[in-house]
Structure 1
Amino acid sequence: MTQPESFPGLHAWFDTPLGRYVTAWETARFDALVADIFGYNALQLGAPEFDFLRANRMPFRFTAGSGRVQVETDYTALPFAAASIDLVVLPHVLEFASNPHQVLREVERVLVPEGQVVIAGFNPLSLFGLRRRLAGEATGYPWHGQYLSLRRLKDWLALLGFETGLHASGCFAPAVDQEQWLHRLTWLDCAGERWWPIGGGVYIIQAIKRVHGMRLIMPKWDRRAAGRALAPLIQKAGGPTKGCSQKSTDERNSGRD
């Protein structure tokens, strides 16, 4: 197994005022989404500092990735059997993974049919995305990540056979580092949800793995129908029977009388 990817800079950023502002919104949304998802096994990939499965009631919940996790693994090669996990939560892994397509493919592989994935990501079409463009790629977390738009992520999920469900965006305040300014600008969250609902700094989306099956429908034959269908073939192969020929001759003779 290859060395798992680690994002220590991102973990440290979550402890800043802006990071706490983001995680507070995401925790509330994760709690609401995973509470009514049922099954046996729930997996959180990444962000081990936070328990985004705490509101879920599955008997076996665990974290995987790097750091303080139950299972240390590479995100692109999960050590779980196919169709063995009922729920996967993916907080801010795709933006910083070297191969996000493969991460999603692995998530699709390990999910059971009708299993669900809940993904949180940074929105490039927001004030957070604007700061990322102004900051440049040379800066640290989270600004150097490859942000995925919600529309692009939906396309990726659809190609893998997922049906997207609920989604929301939040954290409409500018990406400032000072806690006092964040408190002063919290009114933008209410205004943004009403006037610009897709423009939050982060988003969360739920998707369901759909597997289309095939059932072979056979015709329901009864004995009479089968007999009627086979009778012409029998007559064609063996010719008219003696009884039938005699009956036809008798009918012609009676007609002459």
Structure 2
Amino acid sequence: MEQPLILELAEWLSTPAGQYVQGWEQKQIDAMVSNVFGYHAIQIGLPQWDLLRANRIPYKGRTRVLFDTAAHADAAVVADPENLPFDTQSIDLLVLPHILETSAKPHQILREAERVLMPEGRVVISGFNPWSLWGASDRIPGLDPLLPVPAHLQVSLPRLKDWFKLLSFELDRGRFGCYAPPCNSQAWLDRWSFMDAAGDRWWPVCGAVYVVSAVKRVAGMTLVGPKWKTAKKRVQRQAVVTGRHSDLGL
């Protein structure tokens, strides 16, 4: 029986290339989740990798997927990413590390994320960039496939943005990273380390991986302020009509 992609990915993360990617993603996700508040934060998949360590939400959990039979003490919940075992609008922060591209139904996973998140809740997603040399390594003649996820399953950032628009997510921030040429040698990754600083400046969309953060927006929701605040009385002023609108930027 063929091993599920998520398990191949978990094994790949222990390789030099995987450690390179893991180190960069950890840094970005730490920054994105550190100031997210609420009561419940959940990481879906790869429970051996703690991507909630920088968050201060009181209840944090890491789940393992249904077919991951490995024992993970910190992953008490077994979850199908396409049918999450959480109540609607019950989660404040959801982290999805490479889960969309290891599923046959990535859009359904994103729908589930929208369902379980509270209004103004946040989802953080990481993925491989299919337009990078790493992402396309299985399509380039003479180059051995480097990633455990084939290019046709990788979810590009423009595609993910389209899904956000179809649902109720608003992209908050994101970054591409890991600009070293595709290789699985620690010595060569170290030699190419200068490419990370150069890549951010000169070719940001060519990074091997990306991390994005999006907020669930609910149409018509109004934030209510303290009751002791009273609205200031409006002062009616006579309108002045002119023939030009340059002062309004029109």
TM-score normalised by length of structure 1: 0.77
Quick one: percent identity of the two aligned structures?
Answer: 48
Post-superposition CA distance 1:67-102 (Å, at most 9, x none): 422210111111110000000000001111111011
Q: Does 1:125 align with 2:131?
A: yes
Aligned to 2:245: none
- Distance (whole Å) between structure 1 residues aligned to residue 111 and residue 51 of structure 2: 22
- Distance (whole Å) between structure 1 residues aligned to residue 79 and residue 147 of structure 2: 22
Matched AA of 1:129: G
Q: Does 1:86 align with 2:86?
A: no
Gaps spanning 5+ residues in structure 1: where?
216-257
Q: Does 1:95 align with 2:101?
A: yes
> Which residue of 186, 199, 211 corresponds with 1:204?
211
* Shift in CA distance, 211/139, structure 1 to aligned 2, threshold 3 Å: same
Gaps spanning 5+ residues in structure 2: where?
223-250
- Distance (whole Å) between structure 2 residues aligned to residue 65 and residue 139 of structure 1: 26
Residue 132 of structure 1 contacts residue 143 of structure 1 at CA under 8 Å; is this kept in 2?
no
Aligned to 1:231: none
* Shift in CA distance, 135/118, structure 1 to aligned 2, threshold 3 Å: farther
Residue 43 of structure 1 contacts residue 88 of structure 1 at CA under 8 Å; is this kept in 2?
yes
Aligned to 1:40: 39
> 2:86 aligns to what SS in structure 1?
coil
Matched AA of 1:205: V
> 1:10 aligns to what SS in structure 2?
helix
Q: Does 1:115 align with 2:121?
A: yes
Matched AA of 1:190: A
Which runs of structure 2 are paired with 1:41-60 in the superposition (5 Å)?
Answer: 41-60=40-59
Q: How many residues align?
A: 210
Which runs of structure 2 are paired with 1:119-198 in the superposition (5 Å)?
Answer: 119-134=125-140, 141-144=147-150, 146-198=153-205
Aligned to 1:106: 112
- Distance (whole Å) between structure 1 residues aligned to residue 121 and residue 6 of structure 2: 27
Matched AA of 2:210: Y
> 1:23 aligns to what SS in structure 2?
helix
Residue 174 of structure 2 contacts residue 211 of structure 2 at CA under 8 Å; is this kept in 1?
yes
- Distance (whole Å) between structure 2 residues aligned to residue 123 and residue 175 of structure 1: 12
Deviation at 1:161, TM superposition (A): 1.0
- Distance (whole Å) between structure 1 residues aligned to residue 84 and residue 63 of structure 2: 9
Residue 47 of structure 1 contacts residue 91 of structure 1 at CA under 8 Å; is this kept in 2?
yes
Residue 166 of structure 1 contacts residue 205 of structure 1 at CA under 8 Å; is this kept in 2?
yes
State which structure, 1 or 2, has the greater radius of gyration over its C-alpha atoms.
1
Residue 47 of structure 2 contacts residue 62 of structure 2 at CA under 8 Å; is this kept in 1?
yes
TM-score normalised by length of structure 2: 0.79
**Aligned-pair RMSD on alpha carbons?**
2.0
